[in-house]
Amino acid sequence: MREPDSPPRWAETVLETLLPCEDRQAVTGDLREEYAETVLPELGRWRADAWYLRQVLSLAPRRIFKEDGMRKMLLPVSVFNTVCGCWLITMEMLLRHAGYVARVAMDASISLVSLATILVILLHPGVRTERWFRLCGLPLIAIALWAFVRNARSTHFEGFVLIISLALTLQGVLLLVSLGKEPRGFRLGGMEGSR
Amino acid sequence: MSDLLGAFEQAVLLAIVRLAANAYGRTILHEAQASLGRQVSAGAVYTTLDRLEQRGLVRSRLEQGTEARGGRPRRYYTVAAEGVSALNEARDTLTRMWSSIQWPAEIVR
């Protein structure tokens, strides 16, 4: 049940998920205070909720900038590969060339690993990832190399296959090397006195 | 000081100076908006505070929150000695840059 002078609960939960845990309480507290004492009395419920959502959106990139360089790079690459994987699945299902089931399974595994990487980066910042998950980078690199060689040998060279195989290789390498250590300057523990 | 402060960084640092003991996220946001004369997003303020803290220009500490915040703590900010030096340097640089210009500057066509 929503309290009368508090922002939408779901938006606050999204914000808490997006923020690094060291800032979670202080930042959501500031916004809740501003919402209740200034924005809601001035703007009314709907516009105040819209204001709160704008603040949530403005704070979303902050999470990414707190990560170190390799994790920052891993996020867009994983998003790209998730989208490409879904696109390849759709095309395979529509065209249904010989052997499409195996390729759909491969594309689905690419999408799943990429999606899992995105979730790990966003939901568990500053946490060393399990070794088995980091090792998912190896099959990604293997698939990328296989696709590249197959593409190079075919009579009709596909540019998009080259781009996707490069992105997969990059994601595989970054998965192997960047998630095994804690990002620089990242500290857990939401209530410590100073940073 | 190798990196000069940007305009927004100066606005945030000066807001902390003006607010003194009452400088936390919400009041800094208000003060920055008032001094810049425009709406400022919370994300811009917190990102700048993070950057300033990483550069050692501000320090922060957590204190107990009020009921309006659902009991969540407040993070109070103070300007470090390096921050004061950076502000002084930014002001000196601006003064030097403008010293040879007659204001309002005329457009020469």
User: Given pLDDT bands bounded at 50, 70 and 90, which one contains residue A187?
Assistant: very low
Tell me the pLDDT of chain A averaged across its residues. Answer: 81
Signed CA dihedral, A101, A103, A106, A108: sign only: negative
Q: What is the pTM of this model?
A: 0.60
Residue A186 domain-assigned (yes or no): no
Distance, CA of A168 to CA of B20 (rounded, Å):
51
Lowest mean pLDDT, pick from A52-61, A82-91, B14-23: A52-61
Q: What is the largest CA-CA distance in chain A?
A: 68
Residues A38 and A80 in one domain: no
Give mean pLDDT, residues A47-65.
82
Q: What is the DSSP string of A96-121?
A: --TTHHHHHHHHHHHHHHHHHHHHHH
Residues of B in contact with A52 (CB under 8 A): none
Give the range of the structural domain holding residue A164, as residue numbers without chain letter.
69-178
Chain B residues whose CB is inside 8 A of the A193 CB are: 61-62
* A22 contacts chain B (CB < 8 A): no
Q: A148: buried, middle or exposed (CB in 10 Å: 19+, 13-18, 0-12)?
A: middle
Nearest CB to A29 within list B47, B53, B69: B69
pLDDT in tens, A88-97: 999 999 988 8
| A144 half-sphere exposure, CB direction, 13 A CA radius | 21
pLDDT confidence of residue A125: 62
Domain spans of chain B?
7-99
- CATH class in words for B7-99: mainly alpha
Assess if residue A170 is contained within a domain.
yes
Tens of pLDDT, residue by residue over B11-36, are 999 999 999 999 999 999 999 999 99
Place of tokens 């960047």: A178
Residue A134 lies in a domain: yes
Q: Say if A31 is an interface residue toward chain B (CB within 8 Å).
A: yes
Whether B65 has its CB under 8 Å from any CB of chain A: the answer is yes
Helices and strands in chain A, H and E counts: 9, 0
Same-domain status, A56 and A78: no
A62 contact residues in B (CB cutoff 8 A): 43, 46-47, 50
What is the domain count for chain A?
Answer: 2
Residues A84 and A153 in one domain: yes
Are A13 and A93 found together in one domain? Answer: no
